A and B are shown apart, each in its own frame.
Chain A
């Protein structure tokens, strides 16, 4: 009953959503790789980036506000690390996770307070939202730009991690925290760098995401955040290509599930089912490295 255009449309919207999850997932996977911490606040950093844009673009032009938003998002990410995670570095893992949940709660309440709980219209970035007609399909520019930009950013990131000194330090820290400290790696700067990269990508994702949907609300970060985390686990925590592939798979599956009226209610639950299946069958994810439990 449905034509090919229908399936292409679904696939395209899945790829767009998937690439946005990918950008967020990288932040999760890098932080988890290094600190072994599920940064629950990451989704809310993404949300805050959306609000930065709403308020900054009210007074500045887009050319100024886009870089400003990215800088502010990075600052926020690093600030959260310094304030909420660094003091707990020697504490049990549960405490740090609780702190992450607390930060997430704080950011959501802060956003609710500032906006008065009403969703705000996101500035219209016409360059991204222009609709093109391609053979019976209506495609927004953003649908094409998002995956390409994601792949380019990931490629740059992989080079950064494989070829540069800070990348090497990151890999060392994620392999063995204490030993790398003994080898003279400045742990704190490595961790800050991780948050800089993660938040930057979350900022980019937020611009693409909210430009596409047109509005930001205080609770909007939680779900994409969790899904991105699942993508990170799916691909194998610590593995950047893994996170990206996981995110694409989740995005596309979700798009097809949503389109089927009978099972659309499972569009969020599906992600978690996938998580549980992967954890049971292949606990280290698709591309994760096997870690042995140390006694």
Chain B
């Protein structure tokens, strides 16, 4: 057993080193490639998907407000990091806006988590009393309400109403989103493996039984809701940085659905599943399946049905197949572990060996 631990640690270190070298290579030599862009966006979506999974998969709260919290995080970050000298250009219809200072990136990033968390607390007070699908529609509604508030002219000096925010502090390196997402996901994993996490899972499996065992339902649900919003906010801020411009219209319910589908593809209740799902989803939708939008005249054939929009059609059919027939997604509710992989390879090996032995004995 001890041996296994050492071996696993070593394997993990090797994997981490390989990833690091790979990212550094991409950062250095393929800075503007599709690969770099997919990696960045995938890392950001991983964080958001994991934060939603914490809520849907681990606590059993079906929330559809994730895009709303991302939006608050993104706005918090953007508003606080636009350089003072650029403000008059950005807030051109609001005389430069009312915020006339600029915070360092990391401080703003932390605040981008804290502000949505406060909003989550406020929203959670009334909403978390609701049951499953009512909760879903109420959180969806809150996301829409918050979007409307941000777009309201009267708060324009703060949020620039529905106009674009830009020129805020940005990242350039491919590594940056990986580091931030990595730290955040690590914290989420720690939370899930703590007593809090066990309480969350108990609530998911059976609310009434959990309450009977002395778990304070309201308190734990609120905690899960706030933690999830915190990380969704940071994810939103990262997304704003990735796009280098920000508009409230980005964060519609469609975005929440997209994240929810990622969680489903990865496996509800699996952190590694959500991460894998994010990279797979982003890579497919923005890169690998792009050829489907093109009738491919250059290889000599003209496939008439392959034109703009076909990619998304194929993609949504694939998603429906996953939802209907592979309900557990890639990982089910399992996590990635070296033991699992080695055992699995072992099994695969044994299965192949067995019949040959039988044949031999005959």
Q: Residues of A with Cβ closer than 8 Å to B?
A: 36-38, 83-84, 87-88, 91, 93-95, 97-99, 101-106, 109-110, 112-114, 116-117, 222, 226, 229-230, 233, 262, 265-266, 268-269, 271-273, 275-276, 279-280, 283, 293, 295
Q: Which residues from chain B contact A271 at a C-beta distance below 8 Å?
A: 141
Q: When the two chains form their complex, are residues B145 and A106 in contact, meaning their CB atoms are under 8 A apart?
A: no
Q: Which residues from chain B contact A98 at a C-beta distance below 8 Å?
A: 260-261, 264, 323
Q: Residues of B with Cβ closer than 8 Å to A?
A: 56, 62, 126-127, 129-134, 136-138, 140-142, 144-145, 147-149, 151-154, 162, 208, 253-254, 257, 260-261, 264, 268, 307-310, 312-313, 315-317, 319-320, 323-324, 327
Q: Does more than half of chain B's interface fall in helix, strand or loop, or is it mixed?
A: helix
Q: How far is the CB of B314 from chain A (nearest CB, A)?
A: 9
8 closest Cβ pairs, A-B complex = A272-B141, A269-B148, A113-B309, A106-B316, A109-B312, A269-B145, A113-B313, A109-B316
Residue in B127, B253, B317, B319 with the greatest tally of chain A CB atoms within 10 Å? B319
Q: When the two chains form their complex, are residues B136 and A97 in contact, meaning their CB atoms are under 8 A apart?
A: yes
In angstroms, Cα B131 to Cα A155, docked, is 32
Contact residue among A95, A116, A222, A262 (Cβ-Cβ distance under 8 Å from B308): A116
Q: Which residues from chain B contact A88 at a C-beta distance below 8 Å?
A: 324, 327
Beyond A95-B327, A295-B208, 13 additional contacts (C-beta under 8 Å) are: A84-B324, A94-B62, A99-B320, A105-B261, A113-B313, A116-B308, A269-B141, A269-B149, A272-B138, A272-B140, A272-B144, A276-B141, A279-B134
In angstroms, Cα B129 to Cα A162, docked, is 34
- Closest A residue to B132 by CB, please name it: A93
Q: Which residues from chain B contact A273 at a C-beta distance below 8 Å?
A: 141, 145
Q: Which residues from chain A contact B257 at a C-beta distance below 8 Å?
A: 101, 104-105
Q: When the two chains form their complex, are residues B132 and A94 in contact, meaning their CB atoms are under 8 A apart?
A: yes
Residue in B138, B254, B316 with the greatest tally of chain A CB atoms within 10 Å? B316
Q: Which residues from chain A contact B253 at a C-beta distance below 8 Å?
A: 222, 226
Q: Which residues from chain B contact A114 at a C-beta distance below 8 Å?
A: 309
Contact residue among A226, A265, A266, A276 (Cβ-Cβ distance under 8 Å from B142): A276
Q: When the two chains form their complex, are residues A38 and B137 in contact, meaning their CB atoms are under 8 A apart?
A: yes
Q: How far is the CB of A103 from chain B (nearest CB, A)?
A: 7
Q: Which residues from chain A contact B315 at a C-beta distance below 8 Å?
A: 109
Known: A38-B133, A268-B144. A279 touches B138 (CB 8 A): yes
In angstroms, Cα B137 to Cα A295, docked, is 24
Q: When the two chains form their complex, are residues B62 and A97 in contact, meaning their CB atoms are under 8 A apart?
A: yes
Q: What are 13 residue pairs bridging A and B, where the CB atoms are less than 8 Å apart in the complex? A: A38-B133, A83-B324, A94-B62, A95-B327, A106-B317, A110-B316, A113-B312, A113-B313, A230-B137, A265-B151, A272-B144, A275-B138, A276-B142
